[in-house]
Chains A and B, each alone.
Chain A
């Protein structure tokens, strides 16, 4: 065994301390979701599963949850339909202003959520005045915003995936007479399969956990889960909210664990 110096142990201790700081609050909230007392007290007198049922009975949470799942699924599907062709164009084709176009397509990731949310909200209302098309406070409007959230993740992961597969097989297929569609569906798509799965999962995660972009656009009865959570938090802090948060943690953690099987997570960010 290697001998570690005293200094190394201090370094290790410091690293573990910081990692605990990052992850511990999540365990506290999972723990608190099983407390039996209606008012949160540490340590609890006993434990129960009731808060999960209680949370589902609160309409804001159950509707918010369904809304967030629907939005996440639709947004990741649409962002795949738009993002895969866009990534193909960027990685496989040279054309004018390619770098600018790539930057524009990735820009939703860099524009601050609160600024983007405010801008989209004002734009939607302006649009409504000119065209009578209501987007603010509707599922359609939210879906547009969530597709924007998901799109840069999709493009980034698919581009990375395309970069790693070789062109040779595609060229061979094309020179043997396969049409571009055939080349894409029979050669390209199977070889980037894991990238597509990871892109779908990350798009779903990004959409599901978004708060700032949706904040302006949600309307009465059309609320996402994170917004239902912060609205509730302004007045209450109890095991019910801990149970809701625990559900969100479980969903996102499982999506993350699945995507870990398909891509190198360190490279995804």
Chain B
């Protein structure tokens, strides 16, 4: 039995320090496997298509050693692709505006819900459609908006229409479906921003005679503005990159960037041109993401 208590500065103490030092050294490298996976299978592929976007298409050869801006020039000069870009931007813009308009009141409602249970119930309702993925969500909207879908069946059943309306395969249908895709993202982002705005400010405004509506418009809305811009940027980027919604809800005539990238790369195998289109999407998304994080990290108080 050891009767001598180990001194705080004895050998054991230094041994422990050494162990901690070793573990610290190891820990820095713990991120390495994950980093390698992302670098090898995401960053390297992105660099590869960036290089491809300056190449020229040759059906007999994969990559020629050419460096040209021709693909980008084609997107800019060819009326078809210029139109694709323009239609995509328009639809993305419209969907973003409607999404924000709808998301702001819901986010405010969620952030001012006190009961923890009711709050997590609301969050589940909001994120469930988001997590289902685009295939199931699009299928659901096709059922609602199709020629024999729920809306047309109800309209005819109620005697409000004689013939089924064409709802599916129109730009309006795409915007409606996209808004439902984007709403969860916007609500979740805005809800966390509004959480950070103290209720005491509204209470003070109310005590001084503001109506609830007024205190929202004059107090909460301006304070939440950076978050609203951030949410808008995220929504615009997501809408620009949409694939399933334009293909299934927009139909074959609806040409947006996502489906065109797929067509060029997987069907026609024009990798250089497809890569150039993909790089434009990537660049837009990158700029918007950086913008949104800048705004989200702004301190309010």
User: Is B144 on the interface with A (CB-CB < 8 A)?
Assistant: yes
Give A38-90 interface residues, CB cut-off 8 Å to B: 39-43, 81-83, 85-86, 88-90
* B42, A122: Cβ atoms closer than 8 Å: no
* A89, B29: Cβ atoms closer than 8 Å: yes
CA–CA, A230 and B261, complex, Å:
17
Nearest B residue to A119 by beta-carbon distance?
Answer: B45
What is the total of A-B residue contacts with beta carbons within 8 Å?
Answer: 297
Give A118-172 interface residues, CB cut-off 8 Å to B: 118-123, 126, 129, 144-145, 147-148, 151, 155
* A110, B37: Cβ atoms closer than 8 Å: no
* B136, A245: Cβ atoms closer than 8 Å: yes
Contacts known (A144-B41, A174-B20); A40 close to B148, Cβ less than 8 A: yes
Nearest A residue to B284 by beta-carbon distance?
Answer: A112
Give B54-111 interface residues, CB cut-off 8 Å to A: 62, 102, 105-106, 109-110
* B150, A42: Cβ atoms closer than 8 Å: yes
CA–CA, A249 and B24, complex, Å:
44
CA–CA, A23 and B129, complex, Å:
7
* B153, A86: Cβ atoms closer than 8 Å: no
Nearest A residue to B23 by beta-carbon distance?
Answer: A180
Q: Please report the total number of A residues contacting B with Cβ < 8 Å.
A: 98
User: Is A26 on the interface with B (CB-CB < 8 A)?
Assistant: yes
CA–CA, A51 and B119, complex, Å:
35
User: Is B43 on the interface with A (CB-CB < 8 A)?
Assistant: yes
Contact partner of B30 (CB less than 8 A), chosen from A85, A110, A121, A241, is: A85
Query: Which of B196-204, B222-230, B236-244 has 4 or more CB atoms under 8 Å from chain A?
Result: B236-244
CA–CA, A11 and B213, complex, Å:
9
* B141, A25: Cβ atoms closer than 8 Å: yes
Contact partner of B139 (CB less than 8 A), chosen from A19, A121, A242, is: A242
Contact partner of B153 (CB less than 8 A), chosen from A29, A42, A88, A120, is: A42
Contacts known (A7-B212, A120-B42, A252-B131); A101 close to B27, Cβ less than 8 A: no
* B136, A226: Cβ atoms closer than 8 Å: yes
Give me the interface of A with B, judged by CB distance under 8 Å.
5, 7-8, 11-12, 14-15, 18-19, 21-26, 28-29, 32, 39-43, 81-83, 85-86, 88-90, 92-93, 95, 101, 104-105, 107-108, 110-116, 118-123, 126, 129, 144-145, 147-148, 151, 155, 174-175, 177, 179-180, 183, 205-206, 208-212, 215-216, 225-227, 229-230, 233-234, 237, 241-242, 245, 248-249, 252-253, 256-257, 260, 264-267, 269
Please give me the 4 A-B residue pairs with the lowest Cβ-Cβ distance, nearest first. Answer: A209-B133, A42-B153, A25-B140, A180-B23
